[in-house]
Amino acid sequence: MKNSREIDEIIERYCFEELTPEELRIFEQWLESDPQMAASVNDFLSLKNAFENYRERLALRKKIESIHEEVEFDLFNTPTPLKVVKSGNSTKFLFGKERSYLSIAAAVSIFILSAVSLSLWMFGNGSSKNQNAYRELRREVEKIKKNQKEIIKGINAGDSKEDRSQFTGTGFAITKDGYVLTSYHVIQDAKEIYISNESVGQLQAEVVYSDKSLDLAMLKVKEDSFPGFKEIPFAFKKSISDPGEKVFTLGFPREDLVFGDGSISSYTGFEGDTTAYQISIPVNPGNSGGPLFDNQGNLIGIISGKNESAEGASFAVKSKWINDYINSKSNASIFLPTNKLLVGVDRATQIKRLKDVVLMVRVFN
Amino acid sequence: MNQVQPVAEIEILELLQAGDDKTLKVIYRQNYQTVVSFIINNGGTLQEAKDTYQETLIVFCEKLKQDGFELNCSIKTFLYSIGRRLWLKQLKRKSRFTTEELNDSEDYLPFEEDKTDEREEQFYAMNQALEQLGEPCRSILKDFYINGHSMEEITQKFGYTNADNAKNQKYKCLKRLKKSFFEVFNNGLVTNEEF
């Protein structure tokens, strides 16, 4: 009698037509006499079928996405019918020449506005100060505490202070088995990293890889007994979103999860940085690394910083770039989430489903 | 559907069936507005419309490859009908579906549940099952069954001391995958209802 692994292997080899003629003869006899075995073979065949189907669909999806990227420009430069008007039995689209004039007028005015605001902005900030205007948003917890202690105690010379400052930021899970994204500057120079929220408690994590220029870091939970995150509810958006779209973020500017919402204000981030959006969400230290979602709950960016010299100008790295970066780094072992559990439900429900995968990131250096 | 299929479209179909990407690109561009507008006019956002349109093209390509595939209407009508069905399904999932009539701009084919539907469910179940597996299981199975890597390559890549250890691991992983795959696949409808 063979053990179950050996039986499964024979079934698999049978389904892949790898059995020798001799083995095949014996196996087919066995198959006839044992209905249980026939059922197992059928199961494996549907699984094999599902694998093939999966491979084909992935390839197709990739191809169609790349087609879309190629023709995207043309698509959005032809007028879109706005509304259907039903008259009797025939249905017609309103194309309307006025519409294209309108959109040209709108485009022109946006251009003028942005040109004006850009020049104003450049005027207002001496270019040498620009570096200082960008503020990364990790929170220096120990510094705040220490400062307070010092104020209370007065400064004692000779006090042996441990040189261990703690930073916090936000991160979020992208796979159930423990991969987490956050900003590079949150975990920069970290010796130890802990991630925590209500549902997973506190877990130690390590950096898998990071990229300073994109301000991105991928972490992985280090604990052996980690049972996994809950279902990742959102989908990773691989294309660019447009200004005007409503967006929201969740983060840990304090010890509890805080919600903030606003819109995308610009296609580019600080000083025309094309890898980021400008967004109108008020963010605070600790928000860095937080996920940025659109109305349907698609992940469209990661909060990275704000403009100190302008009110309400925050920045988020675009998900498209993050996607490209992750794809270039990992040999297909990390799958960005494509779930749509946030589509068509209200904001409160979206947040309820998201709060288990948004994490506070604590860093010790 | 009394439309006669234009002769030129038969050639287009043949090109598509032969896997000509240039033709696919043309088809993609030509029919984008029709399907996307339909979805936007029936309660979808631009993003949803775009996603559904891409899904439509996937289903279209799959149907082209089916044995005995025959098209009795124009490609436009066909794509519109697929997109319409997918969007209806999505509306049902979201339970945003009202009894109100859909705003149709084109004629369409009423589709019944067919083979492609099963493939959709299969893909969904496989995706869920792989998602639920932890590492290294997911990568091992994907490498072997989807990317077609050999057991030797996998043994090396994942640092197993010998091929038998790797095989044993793969066996355990497959067992878990099988379980969750059939769980999702057999309850496909239930999971769809939930959301």
Q: Is A146 exposed, middle or buried (0-12, 13-18, 19+ CB in 10 A)?
A: middle
Domain assignment present for A126: no
Question: What is the domain range of residue B147?
Answer: 115-194
Q: Is A328 exposed, middle or buried (0-12, 13-18, 19+ CB in 10 A)?
A: exposed
Partners of A43 on chain B (C-beta within 8 Å) are: 178, 182
Identify whether the C-beta of residue B96 lies closer than 8 Å to the C-beta of residue B102.
no
Find the CATH number of the domain harbouring B15.
1.10.1740
pLDDT value at position A255? 84
Cβ–Cβ contact A2 with B under 8 A: no
Does the distance separating the beta carbons of A68 and B28 come in below 8 Å? yes
For the CA atoms of B178, B183, B186, B189, the dihedral, rounded to the nearest 10 degrees, stands at -140
| pLDDT at position B28 over 70 | yes
Chain A residue closest to B191 (CA)?
A: A341
Task: Please report which confidence band the pLDDT of residue A181 belongs to, taking 50, 70 and 90 as the band edges.
Answer: very high
Cβ–Cβ contact B126 with A under 8 A: yes
Cβ–Cβ contact B48 with A under 8 A: yes
Question: Distance between terminal CA atoms of chain B?
Answer: 34
- The verdict on B81 and B148 lying in the same domain is no
Distance from CA of A14 to the nearest CA of B (A): 15
pLDDT value at position A207? 92
Identify whether the C-beta of residue B49 lies closer than 8 Å to the C-beta of residue B35.
yes
Number of domains in chain A: 2
Number of domains in chain B: 2
| pLDDT at position A91 over 50 | no
Beta strand segments in A152-237, E:
166-173, 179-182, 192-197, 201-211, 216-221, 235-236
pLDDT value at position A158? 39
Does the distance separating the beta carbons of A344 and B96 come in below 8 Å? yes
pLDDT value at position B121? 80
Partners of B29 on chain A (C-beta within 8 Å) are: 71, 74-75
pLDDT value at position A78? 47
Domain end call among A54, A74, A94: A74
Distance from CA of B72 to the nearest CA of A (A): 23
Domain end call among A74, A106, A127: A74
Q: What percent of chain A has pLDDT over 90?
A: 21
Domain end call among B41, B60, B93: B93
- The verdict on B126 and B182 lying in the same domain is yes
Domain assignment present for B49: yes
Domain assignment present for A241: yes
- The verdict on B86 and B151 lying in the same domain is no
B160-168 mean pLDDT: 85
Residue of A171, A347, A174 lying closest to A247 (CA atoms) = A347
Distance from CA of A231 to the nearest CA of B (A): 8
Helix or strand (DSSP H, E) at B28: helix B21-40
- The verdict on A154 and A236 lying in the same domain is yes
Domain assignment present for B106: no
Residue of B96, B68, B100, B64 lying closest to B82 (CA atoms) = B64
Considering only CB atoms, A51 lies closest to which of B146, B168, B185, namely: B146
Cβ–Cβ contact B26 with A under 8 A: no
Find the CATH number of the domain harbouring A148.
2.40.10.120
Domain assignment present for B104: no
Question: What is the domain range of residue A291?
Answer: 136-364
| pLDDT at position B90 over 90 | no
- The verdict on A274 and A158 lying in the same domain is yes
Considering only CB atoms, A80 lies closest to which of B37, B125, B147, namely: B37
Tokens of A113: 């506005």
pLDDT value at position B2? 44
| pLDDT at position B179 over 80 | yes
Considering only CB atoms, B145 lies closest to which of A51, A71, A91, namely: A51
Does the distance separating the beta carbons of A47 and B29 come in below 8 Å? no
Domain assignment present for B126: yes
State the number of CA atoms in the 13 A half-sphere of A250 facing the CB: 23
Q: Please tell me which residue, B45 or A335, carries the higher pLDDT value.
A: B45
- The verdict on A191 and A305 lying in the same domain is yes
Tokens 């040209």 identify what position? Answer: A104
Domain assignment present for B1: no
Q: Which chain A residues in 176-215 lie under 8 Å from chain B, judged by CB atoms? A: 176-177
Domain assignment present for A79: no
As a whole number, the mean pLDDT across chain B is: 80
- The verdict on B89 and B47 lying in the same domain is yes
Tokens 């290294």 identify what position? Answer: B136
Partners of A71 on chain B (C-beta within 8 Å) are: 25, 28-29, 32
Domain assignment present for A96: no
- The verdict on B87 and B130 lying in the same domain is no
Partners of A67 on chain B (C-beta within 8 Å) are: 21, 24-25, 28
**Phi-psi label, residue A98: left if phi above 0, alpha if psi -120 to 50, beta otherwise:** alpha
- The verdict on B123 and B80 lying in the same domain is no
Q: What percent of chain B has pLDDT over 90?
A: 6
Chain B residue closest to A74 (CA)?
A: B29
Tokens 């087609």 identify what position? Answer: A67
**Phi-psi label, residue A272: left if phi above 0, alpha if psi -120 to 50, beta otherwise:** left
- The verdict on A62 and A154 lying in the same domain is no
pLDDT in tens, A255-290: 889 999 999 999 888 888 888 999 999 888 888 999
The whole-angstrom separation of Cα B14 and Cα B22 is 13
Q: Is A347 exposed, middle or buried (0-12, 13-18, 19+ CB in 10 A)?
A: middle
Domain end call among A22, A39, A74: A74
- The verdict on B76 and B137 lying in the same domain is no
pLDDT in tens, A50-73: 898 888 888 888 889 888 888 776
Cβ–Cβ contact B39 with A under 8 A: no
Q: Give ipTM to 2 decimals.
A: 0.78
Q: Please tell me which residue, A72 or B176, carries the higher pLDDT value.
A: B176
Q: Which chain A residues in 64-103 lie under 8 Å from chain B, judged by CB atoms? A: 64-65, 67-68, 70-71, 74-75, 78, 80-81, 83-84, 86, 91-93
A186-195 mean pLDDT: 88
Interface test with B, best of A11, A12, A43, A57 (most B CBs within 10 A): A57
- The verdict on A50 and A156 lying in the same domain is no
Cβ–Cβ contact B174 with A under 8 A: yes
| pLDDT at position B106 over 50 | yes
Identify whether the C-beta of residue A204 lies closer than 8 Å to the C-beta of residue A214.
no
Tokens of B131: 């998602």
As a whole number, the mean pLDDT across chain A is: 77
Domain assignment present for A102: no
Residues 6+ apart with CB under 8 A from A131: none
- The verdict on B77 and B129 lying in the same domain is no
Q: Distances in Å between the alpha carbon of B14 and those of A67, B18, B59?
A: 19, 6, 17
- The verdict on B58 and B11 lying in the same domain is yes
- The verdict on B122 and B85 lying in the same domain is no
Domain assignment present for B21: yes
Cα B166–chain centre separation: 32
Cβ–Cβ contact B181 with A under 8 A: yes
Identify whether the C-beta of residue A95 lies closer than 8 Å to the C-beta of residue A81.
yes
Chain B residue closest to A9 (CA)?
A: B171
Find the CATH number of the domain harbouring B122.
1.10.10.10
Q: Which of A7-16, A124-133, A203-212 has the lowest mean pLDDT?
A: A124-133
DSSP A273: -
